[in-house]
Structure formats: C-alpha cells, structure tokens
Amino acid sequence: MADSYHQKVCDQVRSFIGRQQWDYVEKEELNAFRFDIRYGKSSAIFKIYTTGTIQVQGGESNLKETLLKLKKAIQNNEILADEILPFEIEKFPETLQKSIPSIDPVIIRFLSEAILCYKANSLLGCSFLLGAASEKAMWLLINSYVAAIENEKNRQKLESRISNKFISKAYDEFKRSISSSKSNLPNDLSLQDLDTKIESIFQFCRICRNEVGHPQISPNLDRGVLLANMGQFVQYTKAIYNVIDYFENNQIAV
C-alpha cells in the first residue's frame, strides 16, 4: 500500500512540476524520493518518504510557498496539479498593473475574479469573467483605432458600422479597416502579428464566454486548456496596450 501511494504521489508531483516548466532533478534516496527544483534564482527540495511523510526544504520564496500548497493538497487528498495555480498567475493582476499603469480597472477586476473562480473550481464563472476582461480590452483597442483615423468621414463610417454591435462584429470591422489602411504601420501591427499575438486569445475567450452565457447544453470546459489561456492573458493584454499606445500617438489614413 505504501509503495503504491508513494509512486502515485511521485507521479503527481512530477506532473505538477512539469506543468510549471520548472527545472528539476530526481534522486532516489534511502526510504525517500527527492526532487531538487529550481525556478529563476529560487531553489527548493521536495521529498516524499515511503512512509507517506512529505518534506519541503529551502529558503523562503514563492517557489517554496507553492510547493507547500502542493504538500497540503496531497495530505488532504485533493486534486493536486489542477487545484494549485502557478504563482505567476496568482500575481497576474499585480503584474499587469505594474507593466501597464494606465490599465483599465475593469480588466483587473474581472481578471482577479476569474482567478478566484478557477481556484474554487468554478470553471463556468472563470471562463465568463476571463471573456469579459478580454472583451473590455478589445473594445479599448477598437475605439483607440477609430479615434486615430484622420479622415472624419471615414472615422464616422466605421463608428456607425460598429455602433451597438457585438464584439465579434466590431472586431471584424476593425480588422477589415486596418487591413486597408494606407498608413505605414509598425511591424508589430502587421495582420499576421495581430493574428498570433491577439486574435487567437481573443477568439478563445469570446467563444468560451458565449458558451457559458448562452448555453444550449452544459459546456464541457477543460481545466488545462482554460489554465493555459489564462497563462497567456498577460502577454495578450500587453500586446493590446502596445497597439493602443501607437494609435493614441499616431493618426491612421484609411
């Protein structure tokens, strides 16, 4: 029984460490299995004894704090790897506020609530709130583009085409307009980069939110996929605000 439990815990810890993309080395010791883990400048040791005892060793750090949560989850027989967020995601709202001092507080509020829902295993709530945060960021991007159009007649035409429209339709109009722009846009505003840096995450968040907000059947959300997209939300938001900054400081010829 002890051997089976010991192996199960080792497999769960190995899977958890792998998902965090931490560097680690495994070692077998007398009556224990040891993981030497490193993340950035932090290091820690996670030991699993054949008796079932678990020890976490190392100096105080976010890494050690996360491993202590993992230890507690194991001892409480909880769902290990899915229930514990990487500490980077825990700090996403703080990270975004530091990186983008002007970030809209609505984005921060919805992202914070989405993280709380994920931790409580409320995947529908998490998906809906993440979609709301994404939609707010996208509207800010689209409106900044409209305001940057130098020709008043063309600006008013686009405003009328997106007025009172769903975000998906407004985004289609934005993309159609920017693809016909006569301005020399910077490299990070190419349509290809918009697709890879912004649109893929935007569309995922939008679709998941729609499935939750307008359900025909109960959505079957995958925790791992949802977590992976939360993991990209900071870079997604940074990319959006980078584009907004350009539109706020340059006029666009359409």
Q: Domain containing 33: what range?
A: 2-83
Regarding whether 210 and 138 lie in a shared domain, the answer is yes
Asked if residue 254 is part of any domain, the answer here is no
Whole-number pLDDT of residue 16: 79
CB atoms within 10 A of CB 228: 12
Regarding whether 74 and 127 lie in a shared domain, the answer is no
* Domain count across the chain: 2
**Has residue 144 got a pLDDT over 60?**
yes
Cα within 13 Å of Cα(146), Cβ side: 19
Across the range 183-187, mean pLDDT stands at: 68
**Alpha-carbon distance values, 223 to 25, 83, 208, 227 (Å):** 27, 9, 12, 6
Regarding whether 166 and 216 lie in a shared domain, the answer is yes
Regarding whether 12 and 103 lie in a shared domain, the answer is no
Listed residues 83, 117, 136: the one ending a domain: 83
The three-class DSSP label of residue 6 is helix
Whole-number pLDDT of residue 82: 47
- Kindly report the pTM of this predicted structure: 0.67
pLDDT tens-place string over residues 191-213: 666 777 788 888 888 887 877 76
Measured CA to CA, the distance from residue 117 to residue 126 in angstroms comes to 5
- pLDDT category of residue 81 using cuts at 50, 70 and 90: very low
**Has residue 85 got a pLDDT over 70?**
no
Helix ranges restricted to H, 104-190: 105-119, 123-148, 152-162, 167-179
Asked if residue 12 is part of any domain, the answer here is yes
The three-class DSSP label of residue 203 is helix
What is the pLDDT of the chain when averaged over all its residues? Answer: 83
φ/ψ region of 172 (left if φ > 0, alpha if ψ in -120 to 50, else beta) reads alpha
Q: Which of 131, 100, 61, 132 shows the shortest CA–CA distance to 248? A: 100
Regarding whether 173 and 140 lie in a shared domain, the answer is yes
The three-class DSSP label of residue 25 is strand
Q: Residue 48 sits in a domain of what CATH number?
A: 3.30.310
Whole-number pLDDT of residue 80: 46
Across the range 47-53, mean pLDDT stands at: 87
| CB 44, CB 68: distance < 8 Å | no
Listed residues 37, 52, 83: the one ending a domain: 83
